[in-house]
């Protein structure tokens, strides 16, 4: 029992305790490969989040170690994520108002809040939230985030100052701003692109962003490129690792972070679960959503306590891990220790990283997220999914990431409510072999004489039961001959004992009785019998049977009995 409890709390640790020696070589190779990719990405995403480059390394080390203990996925790599960092920057930048120390403080607090929200959700077993943001929403979100990042980094790549922080204004002013480009910065950016695409073509297995970062940083330091106006990150200037100062923090700012932190928790969790489930299915195991919610909360709290920013599952680094044959959570441990060695042994050179190079690396990484064709491919497959993805993309681009996500979720909920309010429906009949199927499209399915069989494809609740009643009465009145029986497929529509639904069924039964029609509910006999039990006898004429076939047998038997009674007892002749 104690072992099972430990496994639930720390599944990663239990996997490490059962480690197989044969896994070490592929885990070592995968861990070093992940670290080589994670290092430049972490530094670049720190710039995207608006904090010091070294904070990106803070956000990798302890969180990766924590996930190795508390995570249930053997392939998932956690770390800075483009969408997560973009959300942080969108929320924190206006609150910080140019104060870099306050920006860092707010980033840490928002990360701590996000982790707390995740732990609360895990405590209440809300792992089903992973299905709240559908793939069309995430598709639109990631495309919007990618385009936002690309446009925002253009000014750094070309070395000019953007006249506005808003995306549309940046795009509008881009032609004029390009005339003010800083040529040494632009040349360095082109050199970085040459390294990235050259290695991608010549040595695709090498971590091109890491080589680009090392080469350009070394060139900036050795050649003194800062004298030509090349801007660097200036990440580290003291004798020890940088620490955030808290005495001047204003607690009143916390209220502005509560809801954005909740939004960030939902977006990060959904994105993380999509990655974790994908690679778990590929490797033949399953991940538990509630455990992953708890793990996400823990690693973000650990990130905040180590002065880092919010993190999530990193799909690109997870793919690197899987491609190199990573077998266990030891990959995260090896990658974390490798990044830690860089932090403690090579922190001084970080101050020579050119800002333009980070901009190029961010554009290079974001380009893989940009898949506008994927949105338009949905147009032929599912029109509503296409509309949702396109709406999300345009919302993120036009009004910002946080409000864009909110509007997209609202639209998805409205689509869901529309489906529940006005669901699809079918009239049922039988074929020549007596099998029950939906009628329509000249498929040879015929209605049973005197019987209306109806299926309502949504759970009945207080806000759609009136429509349900109206549809049945309208169908009864529209038939050439009034049916003697109405049979309702109860499996799809009766899912819980809603009092309003039970009362409405009682009303429907009385309305049909006035038309000399008997009502039959087919399916969920035990539950429906219990739900409709009452002290009065208003439901004594309600017939409940286990399924549709037994309903037809009951009707056939009743009809035969009635006919027999009419033959043996003919009406008197006046």
Note the pLDDT tens digit of each residue in 46-99: 888 888 888 999 999 999 999 999 998 989 999 998 888 888 988 999 998 888
Q: Across residues 270-295, what is the average pLDDT?
A: 85
Question: Would you state the pLDDT for residue 560?
Answer: 82
Q: What's the CA angle centered on 407, arms 405 and 410, to 5 degrees?
A: 110
Residue at token pair 């480009």: 181
Question: What DSSP designation does 22 have?
Answer: G
DSSP string over 445-479? -BPPTTEEEEEE-S---TTTHHHHHHHHHHHHHHS
5: pLDDT confidence band, cut at 50, 70 and 90? very low
319: pLDDT confidence band, cut at 50, 70 and 90? confident
Question: Would you state the pLDDT for residue 198?
Answer: 93
In the chain, pLDDT over 90 holds for what percent of residues?
26
- In angstroms, the CA 492 to CA 314 distance is 39
Query: Domains of the chain, with CATH numbers?
Result: 25-173+180-371 (no CATH), 425-562 (3.30.750.24)
Question: Would you state the pLDDT for residue 566?
Answer: 64
- In angstroms, the CA 323 to CA 556 distance is 63
3-state SS assignment for residue 52: coil
- In angstroms, the CA 227 to CA 266 distance is 45
Q: Which of 311-320, 449-458, 541-550, 556-565 has the lowest mean pLDDT?
A: 556-565
Instruction: Write down the pTM of the prediction.
Output: 0.71
In the chain, pLDDT over 70 holds for what percent of residues?
93
For the segment 125-184, what is each residue's pLDDT rounded down to a tens digit? 888 776 666 678 778 877 888 888 888 889 889 988 877 667 778 888 888 888 888 999
For the segment 191-234, what is each residue's pLDDT rounded down to a tens digit? 999 999 998 889 887 888 888 888 998 999 888 888 888 988 76
In the chain, what is the greatest distance between 2 CA atoms, to the nearest angstrom?
121
Question: Would you state the pLDDT for residue 475?
Answer: 92
Question: Would you state the pLDDT for residue 538?
Answer: 52
pLDDT at 504 over 60: yes
486: pLDDT confidence band, cut at 50, 70 and 90? very high
102 close to 246: Cβ distance less than 8 angstroms: no
Q: Which of 126, 1, 15 is nearest to 67 (CA)?
A: 15
16 close to 76: Cβ distance less than 8 angstroms: no
DSSP string over 284-347? T----HHHHHHHHHHHHHHHHHTT----EE-HHHHHHHHHTT--STHHHHHHHHHHHHHHHHS-
| 113, 118, 193 from 255: Cα distances, Å | 11, 18, 42
Question: Would you state the pLDDT for residue 1?
Answer: 42
Backbone angles phi, psi at 41, to 5 degrees: -65, -40
Question: Would you state the pLDDT for residue 58?
Answer: 92
- The tokens for 514 are 């006035």
Q: Which residues contact 385 (CB under 8 A, 6 or more apart)?
A: 134, 135, 136, 378
Average pLDDT, the chain: 85
Q: Which residues contact 402 (CB under 8 A, 6 or more apart)?
A: 87, 90, 91, 260, 263
Question: Would you state the pLDDT for residue 132?
Answer: 61
């Amino acid at each position: 029992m104690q072992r099972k409890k430990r496994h639930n709390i720390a599944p990663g640790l239990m996997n490490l305790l059962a480690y197989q020696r044969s896994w070490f070589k592929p885990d070592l190779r995968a861990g070093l490969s992940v670290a080589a990719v994670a290092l430049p990405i972490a530094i670049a995403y720190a710039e995207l989040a608006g904090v010091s480059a070294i904070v990106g390394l803070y956000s990798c080390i302890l969180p990766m170690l924590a996930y190795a203990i508390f995570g249930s996925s053997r392939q998932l790599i956690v770390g800075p994520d483009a969408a997560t960092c973009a959300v942080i920057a969108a929320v924190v930048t206006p609150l910080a108002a140019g104060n870099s120390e306050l920006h860092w403080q707010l980033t840490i607090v928002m990360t701590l809040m996000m982790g707390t929200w995740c732990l609360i959700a895990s405590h209440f077993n809300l792992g089903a939230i992973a299905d709240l943001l559908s793939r069309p929403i995430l598709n639109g979100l990631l495309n919007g985030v990618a385009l936002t990042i690309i446009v925002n980094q253009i000014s750094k790549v070309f070395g000019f100052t953007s006249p506005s922080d808003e995306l549309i204004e940046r795009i509008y002013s881009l032609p004029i701003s390009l005339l003010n480009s800083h040529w040494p910065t632009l040349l360095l950016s082109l050199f970085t692109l040459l390294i990235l695409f050259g290695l991608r073509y010549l040595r695709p297995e090498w971590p091109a962003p890491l080589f680009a970062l090392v080469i350009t940083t070394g060139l900036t330091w050795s050649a003194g490129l800062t004298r030509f106006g090349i801007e660097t990150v200036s990440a580290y200037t003291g004798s020890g690792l940088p620490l955030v100062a808290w005495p001047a923090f204003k607690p009143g700012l916390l209220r502005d972070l509560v809801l954005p932190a909740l939004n960030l928790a939902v977006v990060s969790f959904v994105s993380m679960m999509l990655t974790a489930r994908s690679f778990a299915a590929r490797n033949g195991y399953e991940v538990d959503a509630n455990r992953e919610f708890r793990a996400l909360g823990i690693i973000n709290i650990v990130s905040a306590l180590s002065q880092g920013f919010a993190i999530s599952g990193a799909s690109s680094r997870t793919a690197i891990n899987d491609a190199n044959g990573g077998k266990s959570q030891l990959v995260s441990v090896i990658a974390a220790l490798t990044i830690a060695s860089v932090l403690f042994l090579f922190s001084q050179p970080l101050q020579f990283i050119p800002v333009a190079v980070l901009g190029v690396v961010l554009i290079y990484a974001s380009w893989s997220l940009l898949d506008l064709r994927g949105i338009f491919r949905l147009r032929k497959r599912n029109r509503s999914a296409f509309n949702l993805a396109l709406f999300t993309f345009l919302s993120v681009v036009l009004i910002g990431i946080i409000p864009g996500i909110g509007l997209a979720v609202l639209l998805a909920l409205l689509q869901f409510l529309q489906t529940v309010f006005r669901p699809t429906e079918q009239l049922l009949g039988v074929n020549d072999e007596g099998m029950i199927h939906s009628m329509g499209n000249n498929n040879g399915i015929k209605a049973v004489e005197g019987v209306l069989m109806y299926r309502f494809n949504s759970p009945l609740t207080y806000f759609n039961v009136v429509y349900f009643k109206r549809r049945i009465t309208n169908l009864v009145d529209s038939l050439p001959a009034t049916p003697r029986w109405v049979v309702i497929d109860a499996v799809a529509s009766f899912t819980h004992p809603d009092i309003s639904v039970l009362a409405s069924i009682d009303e429907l039964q009385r309305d049909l009785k006035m038309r000399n029609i008997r009502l039959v509910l087919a399916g969920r006999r035990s539950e429906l019998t219990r739900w409709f039990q009452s002290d009065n006898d208003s439901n004594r004429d309600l017939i409940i049977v286990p399924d549709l076939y037994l309903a037809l047998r009951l009707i056939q038997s009743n009809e035969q009995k009635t006919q027999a009674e009419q033959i043996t007892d003919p009406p008197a002749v006046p």
